[in-house]
Structure 1
Amino acid sequence: MIKLLSTDFDGTIVDHEATPRVHPDFFTLLAQLREHGVLWAVNTGRVLWHIEEGLRELEFPAVPDFVLTSEREVFHRGADGRWQDYGDWNARCAEEHARLFSKASVLLADIEEYLAKHTKAHPIYEGQRLIGLAAESLDEMDEIVEFLARESKRVPGFQFMRNTIYVRFCHEAYSKGTALGELGRLTGISRDEIFAAGDHYNDLPMLDGRHAAWVACPGNAVEAVKRTVSEAGGYVADGVCSAGIVEALRHFRAGE
């Protein structure tokens, strides 16, 4: 029943505090699923070069069929083995974000001023454009998120994605969830055939049941993720990171 796996990377598949950092059972189960034609997408907040670096560093015995990067872009592996845009989604995404950031110039300037005056957070730029920030602590990020949630309403379509102490500014129409929906459209795989798993706030858009019928999170997920997964009829695992994802997949396969 499941034809596509969409998994977050850090904190969901990869446990940076463990040895090995991915439980061997994950790759064993993945190999079994692939024998039945199941595809695997890594759906991450990392940019493309950073996820490529992570895959090389960890020397995975299996390479994903797709990478969904920056919480919004969609790539597939080309004939030459390199990651390539899949369809025109990435081009449309870039155009929409360019227009959004242009409309949000005053808001972004106000965010910069707030960070400088009231926090120890570090702004993150792409060229001259403010695209996100890194807080000094989780408590500081909680306060910053309250400010952003209030101020972002000034610009229609302006949104932000949080992952631990990091925030990325984005267009509300582009997220891990909508990128997964586009991947499903491009591959002809329906929502009812998609499994999604994640552990943090930026994973919420792919875990609320809109883009994947089968949703799960590991035991180390933040409470907001556990609550969203439960409300979507998904599985909250006890196991940490990849061990929890194996647990969830076995649970769903047992019910097929």
Structure 2
Amino acid sequence: MTYKLVALDVDGTLLNDDHKMTERTMNTVMEASKQGVEIVLCTGRGPQNTIPFMEKMGLGGYVISHNGAATVEVETRKIIHQFEMDKKSLDPFMDYCRSKGVHFDVNTAFEMYVDNVDTLAGPVRHMYENFLMLPSNLPTWEELTEPVVKFTAFGEVADLDALFQEWSKWTPVFNMLRSGEYFVDLMHEQASKGNALKQLAAKRGVKPEEVLAIGNYYNDITMLTFAGMGIAMDNSPVEVKAAADAITASNNEDGVHEALVKYCLS
């Protein structure tokens, strides 16, 4: 099978545990692009801290950001599609986080907001620095004119386990998923990496069987199962590996390079 479109998760997949893209992996991704494969980064990050990786590789096209909630064109920064959340339905989730001391942020396609930027410290500030993001203070819903596409809770694993368990008992309003060990995301009920990838593939005239996807976490399962070839990193949880068609090396062992050489490069 000749794959025409390759969807790559970023953290834990394209990047190693030091949040770096190795020269070896970068060169292999660029070589796949030169051979005619369309590369799409498909990530929980926002476009503003995803597009720079595309630009570093000299790639245009699209990024699927916020776990599928917003698809953006690299060159123009134009939003191709976004899944808008009902802002006021977020109020009980925000109240819960505040009462439990769990940090959260609210995301539009290009902006990120927190309760109080001045109080960011320790692990929370370090997290934003790692992800190359500086949030702003959250305005009122009336003042926030842009659509909200993602809500993220961040904290210790035990706190997020309890939060996930509690919110799972609530009447479903949003798509809720673990996008990382320390993150729980809420999005529009139809927003997912798989749905966004399906829409983009159709827009690009690419059949599902011509799509290859590589990821490492629960938020990647929908794109791994949509793609004709879904590949899980060796650092993936067992449930993610079970959803994939194949396993590659870990993100610290250039697993993306290994997979692209095996399945895409002639």
Please state which band the TM-score falls in when normalised by the shorter chain. 0.7 to 0.9
Deviation, 1:202, is 1.7
Which amino acid in the other structure matches residue 53 of structure 2? L
Matched, 1:250 2:261: yes
State which of 88, 94, 113 in structure 2 corresponds to 1:112: 94
For 1:167-186, list aligned pairs within 5 A: 167-186=184-203
Distance 1:46 1:144, change over 3 A: same
Aligned to 2:71: 74
Deviation, 1:143, is 1.6
5+ long unaligned stretches in structure 1: none
Aligned to 1:161: 177
Distance in 2 (CA, whole Å) between partners of 1:239 and 1:136 is 25
Matched, 1:190 2:207: yes
3-state secondary structure, aligned to 2:11: coil
Aligned to 1:6: 7
Distance 1:152 1:49, change over 3 A: farther
Matched, 1:219 2:217: no
3-state secondary structure, aligned to 2:242: helix
* 1:49-80 deviations in Å (ceiling 9; x for gaps): 2224x538xx7233252111112211224xxx
5+ long unaligned stretches in structure 2: 107-112, 114-138, 142-147
Deviation, 1:198, is 1.2
* 1:153-193 deviations in Å (ceiling 9; x for gaps): 3x4xx222322222222122111111101110110011000
Contact 1:6 1:196 in 2 (8 A): yes
Distance in 1 (CA, whole Å) between partners of 2:237 and 2:48 is 27
Distance in 2 (CA, whole Å) between partners of 1:55 and 1:22 is 9
* 1:187-232 deviations in Å (ceiling 9; x for gaps): 001100001111122222211x2x2111112222233322221xxx
Distance in 2 (CA, whole Å) between partners of 1:242 and 1:84 is 34
**Where do 4+ consecutive residues of structure 1 move more than 4 Å?**
none
Aligned to 2:153: 134
Distance in 2 (CA, whole Å) between partners of 1:128 and 1:173 is 25
3-state secondary structure, aligned to 1:245: helix
Matched, 1:85 2:79: yes
3-state secondary structure, aligned to 2:14: coil
3-state secondary structure, aligned to 1:123: strand
Q: What value does the CA root-mean-square deviation take over the aligned residues?
A: 2.6
3-state secondary structure, aligned to 2:169: helix
Deviation, 1:132, is 2.6
Contact 1:160 1:170 in 2 (8 A): yes
Contact 2:8 2:214 in 1 (8 A): yes
For 1:7-156, list aligned pairs within 5 A: 7-17=8-18, 21-52=20-51, 54-55=52-53, 60-71=56-67, 72-77=69-74, 81-86=75-80, 89-90=81-82, 93-94=83-84, 97-98=85-86, 101-102=87-88, 105=89, 108-117=90-99, 119-125=100-106, 127-128=139-140, 132-153=151-172, 155=173
How many residues were matched structurally?
Answer: 225
Distance 1:49 1:32, change over 3 A: closer
Distance in 1 (CA, whole Å) between partners of 2:92 and 2:221 is 27
Provide the identity percentage.
Answer: 21
3-state secondary structure, aligned to 1:2: coil
State which of 240, 243, 254 in structure 2 corresponds to 1:228: 243
Deviation, 1:241, is 5.0
Aligned to 1:202: 219
Distance in 1 (CA, whole Å) between partners of 2:252 and 2:171 is 32
Distance 1:114 1:239, change over 3 A: closer
